[in-house]
Amino acid sequence: MNDNSTQQGLAGHGAFFQDTNLSANEAEAATAWVRSHVDRRTMDLGERMDDIRDHMWELEKEGEIIVHRINPGHQAKVVKTLYGWDKKIPTNRLWHHKSCGQCGNIPGYPTSLMWFMNKLGIDYLDETDQTSCTAWNYHGSGIGNVESLAAVFLRNFHQAYVSGKQHGFENGYFYPLVHCGTSFGNYKEVRKYLIESAELREKVKKILGKLGRLVDGKIVIPEEVVHYSEWLHVMRQRIASELQTIDVSHIRVAVHPACHVYKMVPEDAIYDPEILGGNRVAVTTSVAMALGAQVIDYSTWYDCCGFGFRHIISEREFTRSFTMNRKIKVVKEEAKADVLITHDTGCVTTMDKNQWIGKAHDMNYSVPVIADVQLAALACGADPFKIVQLQWHASPCEDLVEKMGISWDKAKADFQEYLKQVEQGNVEYLYNPELAIDQHINMNAD
C-alpha cells in the first residue's frame, strides 16, 4: 500500500514536497522578487492604473457598502503615494489594531507607540475586541482562502467603526491604525478584492450577517488602510521638536523597508520628495532623519528580510542564511550601522532573533534590530526596559543604548526594582484597562 502521507518529501514535509529541479536561470527567476526594486525610478508611472478608492465611492453611492470615512476629528495629514495620489493619514481618535507577533515577541513595539500617543495627548482606543488578521495562516500554510481573509478584515474594521458606541460616541469616531506590516499589506489586497468582486462581497456578507457584523445590512470598508509607520511619518517633526531629549546625530542607522508595507499594493506606499529624493518609500527613513541620525545606505536595501512565512516554518535554515548573508552581514560590514530599524513584525523577528545562528558558521555579525518607533522612543527619553522593552530582543542592544548616552546598567537596575513593586501589586498601565474591555454593544446599531 502506497501511503503518501507517510512518505518523506523535501525537508521531511511529506511526498507532496518535491524538488522542482529548476535550472539555475529558472531558480533565479523564481526568487527574483526578494531582491526586486520597487521605487519611483523603476516603476512605470506613465500608464495610470485605477485608484481602487474611486470604485469604492461608486459602490457607496449605489448603496452597496458603507465607507468608514476619515472625518475632521481624526485630524488627518495628507501625503503623496507612489503614483502621486493623495492619502489621508489620521492622527487622532485611533483604534489600535495590534499585532499578534508584536504582542507575543516584541512588546516594546506597541508600547512605544502608545507611549508616544500618551505624551502627545492623542485620543485612542486600545480595546480587546480584535482578532489576528489570519494572513500568517494564508502566507505560511497556503490553506487560507480569500473569503476567510475578507471576513476577518471586515469583522475587525466593523469593530473599529462601531467601537465608539460603548463610550457614547457615534459610529466612525475611532479610526483603525494597523500595527503589523503583514496585516497592512493583506488588508489592502483584500480591500481591492472586495471592491472588485460582487461575488466576494455577497459571500462574506452572509458570514458577517451571522456574526452581527453588518451596519444597515451593509459591509463597512475603510476609506484608507493606515499603518502605524505612516502615523509616525506624519508626526515625526512634532515628535522631534516637542519630545526629543537625546542627540542621536552620531548614531549610524540602517533602514530595512518591509515588503508587505511597500511592495504589496505599491501604489498606496508613501513617497516624499524630501526623503531619499522621493525615489524610495519614505516611512521609517523619514523618522530617523527627523531625529537627526545618520541614515546609511547599503547594497541590499531592497532585499526581503528572509522571513517568507512558509519557509520560516519548512526551510528555516534558508531564512537564517538569507537574513545573515543578505542583511545582517551587509549592514554590519558595509554600512557599519549602530542599529537596523524597520517597521514590520516579521522583519524585526527574523533579523533580531536569528543572529545567534551565524556563530555556528563563523559569521559573528551582530547588530541591534528594533522598530523605528522604538528608536524614536529611546531618543525621546522612554525607559529602555519598561517602555521600549529591549530585554525581549535577542540581538545585543547595550552598546546602542550606551552610545546614546543612556546607562544600560542603571536602567536595568531601575527595572529590577520596578518589578519588585509589580510583585507587590503596584502596577502601572499605559492605558486604562477598563476602557480596553469591550462592552458587547449592539453591533447592528445605527
CA distance 220 to 107: 30
- Which carries the bigger pLDDT value, residue 37 or residue 305? 305
Count of CA atoms in the C-beta half-sphere (13 A) of 36: 16
Give the Cα separation of 176 and 125 in Å (integer).
Answer: 9
Residue 38 within any structural domain of the chain? no
Say whether 55 sits in a helix, a strand or coil: helix
What does the chain come to in residues? 446
| Contacting residues for 295 by C-beta, under 8 A, at least 6 apart | 253, 254, 255, 285, 288, 289
Task: Say if 8 falls within a structural domain.
Answer: no
pLDDT for residue 312: 66
Separation of alpha carbons 208 and 205, rounded Å = 5
Residue 80 lies in a domain: yes
Give pLDDT, residue 15. Answer: 56
- Judge whether residue 19 has pLDDT over 90: no
Strand-pair partners of 295: 253
pLDDT tier at 436, thresholds 50, 70, 90: confident
* pLDDT tens figures, 353-368: 888 887 787 888 899 9
**Grid coordinates standing for 38?**
520597487
Q: Which of 247, 333, 253 is nearest to 287 (CA)?
A: 253
d(CA 284, CA 256): 9
Q: Whole domain around residue 352: which residue ranges? A: 243-421
pLDDT in tens, 119-155: 999 999 998 888 877 776 666 666 678 898 999 999 9
One-letter-per-residue 3-state SS of 353-403? HCHHHHHHHCCCCCCCEEEHHHHHHHHCCCCCCCCCCHHHCCCCCHHHHHH
> What local confidence, expressed as pLDDT, does residue 328 receive?
93
Co-location of 137 and 202 in the same domain = yes
Question: Comparing C-alpha atoms, which of 96, 103, 65, 66 is closest to residue 176?
Answer: 96
Instruction: Assess whether 100 and 222 both reside in one domain.
Output: yes
Comparing CA positions, the residue from 221, 118, 133 lying closest to residue 181 is 133
Average pLDDT, the chain: 88
Q: What is the pLDDT of residue 443?
A: 41
Determine the average pLDDT of the residues in 65-77: 98
Last residue of a domain, one of 228, 253, 284: 228
pTM of the predicted model as reported, rounded to 2 decimal places: 0.89
CATH of the domain at 188: 1.20.1050.140
Give yes or no for a contact between 80 and 270, defined as CB atoms under 8 angstroms apart.
yes
Does residue 446 register a pLDDT over 60?
no
In the structure, what pLDDT confidence band is assigned to residue 166 with cuts at 50, 70 and 90? confident
Q: Between residues 14 and 266, which one has the greater pLDDT?
A: 266
Is residue 266 domain-shared with residue 351, that is, in the same domain? yes
Higher pLDDT among residues 185 and 143, named by residue? 185
Query: Is 70 exceeded by the pLDDT of residue 160?
Result: yes
User: Do 221 and 258 share a domain, yes or no?
Assistant: no
Which of 254, 246, 228, 406 shows the shortest CA–CA distance to 338?
254
CATH number of the domain bearing residue 328: 3.40.50.11810
Three-state SS annotation for 213-251 = CCECCEEEEECCCCEHHHHHHHHHHHHHHHCCCCCCCCC
Same domain, 66 and 213: yes
Structural domains in the chain (count): 2
pLDDT of residue 362: 83
Residues 186 and 272 in one domain: no
CA distance 75 to 93: 8
The answer to whether residue 36 sits within a structural domain is: no
Residues 82 and 201 in one domain: yes
Q: What is the pLDDT of residue 393?
A: 93
Rounded-to-integer distance, Cα 234 and Cα 39, Å: 20
pLDDT at 3: 46
pLDDT above 50: residue 416: yes
The answer as to whether 9 is a domain residue is no
Lowest mean pLDDT among 37-51, 76-90, 216-230, 262-276: 37-51
Q: What residue ranges in 45-134 does DSSP mark as E strands?
A: 65-68, 77-80, 86-89, 94-97, 124-125
Of the residues 163, 195, 228, the one at which a domain ends: 228
pLDDT bucket at 224, cuts 50 / 70 / 90? very high
397 against 26, higher pLDDT? 397
Q: Is 339 helix (H, G, I), strand (E, B) or coil?
A: strand
Asked if residues 215 and 302 have their Cβ atoms less than 8 Å apart, the reply is no
What is the pLDDT at residue 72? 97
pLDDT of 14 over the 70 cut = no
Q: What is the model's pLDDT at position 320?
A: 77
Q: Which of 197, 228, 259 is the last residue of a domain?
A: 228
| Residue 185 · residue 194 · CB < 8 Å | no
d(CA 288, CA 254): 9
Indicate the range of 114-123, 227-236, 426-435 predicted with least confidence.
Answer: 426-435
State pLDDT tens for residues 40-62.
766 666 566 789 999 999 999 99
Residue 376 placed within a domain: yes
Question: Is-contact 110 102, C-beta < 8 A?
Answer: yes
Question: Per-residue pLDDT for 13 more than 60?
Answer: no
pLDDT in the model for residue 45 = 63
Question: Would you state the pLDDT for residue 132?
Answer: 79
Round to whole Å and give the CA distance between 446 and 169: 12
On whether both 130 and 261 belong to a single domain, the answer is no
Confidence of residue 33 (pLDDT cuts 50, 70, 90): low
CA 275 – CA 224 distance, rounded (Å): 22
Tell me the mean pLDDT in the region 103-108.
81
Residue type, 296: I
Are both 413 and 298 inside the same structural domain? yes
pLDDT tens figures, 242-260 = 999 999 999 999 999 998 8
**Quick check: 165 pLDDT over 80?**
yes
Residue 255 lies in a domain: yes
Give 282-322 pLDDT, tens digit per residue: 999 999 999 999 999 999 999 988 877 666 666 666 777 78
Q: Helix count (H) and strand count (E) of the chain?
A: 19, 11
Model pLDDT, residue 358 = 79
Of all residues in the chain, the percent with pLDDT exceeding 90 is 64
> Residue 39's pLDDT is what?
77
Q: State the DSSP H helix or E strand holding residue 187, giving kind and residue range, or none if neither.
A: helix 181-196
Statement to judge: residues 141 and 67 lie in one domain? yes
Using CA atoms, how far apart are residues 428 and 115, in angstroms rounded to an integer?
A: 13
Residue 314: per-residue pLDDT: 67
More confident residue, 69 or 34: 69
Flag whether pLDDT at 4 surpasses 60: no
Shared domain for 223 and 305, answered yes or no, is no
Residue-level pLDDT at 206: 96
Q: Is residue 360 part of a domain?
A: yes
Mean of the pLDDT values across residues 355-384?
A: 92
Asked whether residue 384 falls in the same domain as residue 323, the answer is: yes
